Amino acid sequence: EPEVTQTPSHQVTQMGQEVILRCVPISNHLYFYWYRQILGQKVEFLVSFYNNEISEKSEIFDDQFSVERPDGSNFTLKIRSTKLEDSAMYFCASSEGWNEQFFGPGTRLTVL
């Protein structure tokens, strides 16, 4: 069964460093998403991506964040200068259309 994969599973970084979180969506999907879940809180939408451009982004997704689909298979989230409050679980998701998003296992980001 096809699945969304994410690497790494856990990333530890120092405050102010850049991190890139990687995702491989399901191959025939057209829509891609990043969500995050701060420990003990709800899952929050960050950004959606379709046809090689951002289709929607939340208030959280400020200038420190960027997304890219560098080739036909990967979808990345970059945080330019990490802050302590960026520590969270980051989930990638993909979908064919709007009616079901498939989630990856997540990357736990710890900013020290």
Residues that bind other proteins (CB under 8 A): 4, 31, 33, 35, 41-45, 48-50, 55-56, 58, 91, 93, 95, 98-106
Q: What's the closest the beta carbon of residue 85 comes to other proteins, in angstroms?
A: 19
* Choice between 88 and 91, CB closer to other proteins: 91
Q: How far is the CB of 54 from other proteins (least distance, A)?
A: 9
Output DSSP code: residue 43.
E
Q: Determine contact, residues 35/21, Cβ cutoff 8 Å.
A: no
Q: CB-wise, 60 or 64, nearer to other proteins? A: 60
Nearer to other proteins, 106 or 111 (CB): 106
Residue 11, amino acid? Q
CB of 105 to other proteins, least distance (A): 4
59 contact partners, CB below 8 Å, separation of at least 6: none
Q: Which two tokens stand for residue 34?
A: 């990043």
Please name every residue paired with 109 in a beta bridge, in sequence order, or none if there are none: 11, 88
**Which one, 19 or 104, has the nearer CB to other proteins?**
104
CA angle 87/103/40 to nearest 5° reads: 35
The nearest distance, CB 36 to other proteins, in angstroms, is 11
Whole-number Å distance between alpha carbons of 108 and 112: 13
